[in-house]
């Protein structure tokens, strides 16, 4: 079996990409929440209010997930820093497997977020056509 060496700086690079993406999502969610407030003021229709409430709740869920991911990235970075302080530049197998699972979770969240975003834009477009 071939041994694969995974260097901390490679994982750090991916963490930095994830953090930028998560920051972008946070900014977008703020914009979306402001848009919800505008729509709330303009649309007293109960079916619209219900849908707006649903989006607001889903945005909150994504915000919580973003905070959780950022905390996990921070913790993983601390772990990698401890390894580096010991004079090692590669990560152990268990930590790497954790990273791979985390990568999959980020991808799932990415897909869920984009689906929500698409649904929100379709909803807004439908309101504008009224």
Return the pLDDT at 96. Answer: 86
Rounded CA-CA distance 52/42 in Å is 12
**Structure confidence by residue, pLDDT tens digits, 36-55:** 998 888 877 888 889 999 99
Residue 128 pLDDT: 76
Write down the pLDDT at residue 3: 63
pLDDT confidence bin for 129, thresholds 50/70/90: confident
How far apart are alpha carbons 46 and 66 in whole angstroms? 30
Distance separating alpha carbons of residues 13 and 125, to the nearest angstrom: 37
Burial per residue of 86-121, b for 16 or more beta-carbon CB atoms within 10 angstroms, e otherwise = eeeebbeeebeeebeebeeebeebeeebeebeeebe
Angle at 57 between CA 113 and CA 119, to 5 degrees: 40
| Count of Cβ atoms closer than 10 Å to residue 30 Cβ | 12
State the pLDDT at residue 78.
92
Q: Each residue of 51-98: pLDDT tens digit?
A: 999 999 999 999 999 999 999 999 999 988 888 888 877 778 888 889
What pLDDT sits at residue 91?
A: 79
Q: 3-state DSSP call for residue 74? A: helix
Q: How confident is the model at residue 2 (pLDDT cuts 50, 70, 90)?
A: low
At 54, list the tokens: 């649903």
pLDDT digits (tens, 9 = 90+) for 108-123: 999 999 999 999 999 9
Distance CA 98, CA 95 (A): 5
């Amino acid at each position: 079996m071939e041994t694969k060496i995974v260097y901390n700086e490679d994982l750090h690079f991916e963490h930095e990409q994830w953090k930028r993406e998560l920051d972008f999502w946070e900014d977008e969610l703020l914009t979306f929440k402001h848009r919800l407030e505008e729509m709330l003021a303009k649309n007293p229709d109960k079916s619209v209010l219900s849908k707006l409430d649903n989006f607001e709740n889903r945005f909150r869920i994504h915000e919580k997930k973003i905070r959780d991911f950022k905390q996990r990235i921070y913790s993983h970075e601390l772990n990698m820093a401890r390894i580096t302080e010991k004079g090692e530049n590669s990560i152990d197998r268990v930590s790497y497997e954790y990273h791979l699972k985390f990568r999959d979770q980020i991808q799932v969240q990415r897909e869920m977020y984009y689906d929500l975003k698409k649904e929100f834009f379709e909803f807004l477009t439908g309101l504008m056509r009224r």
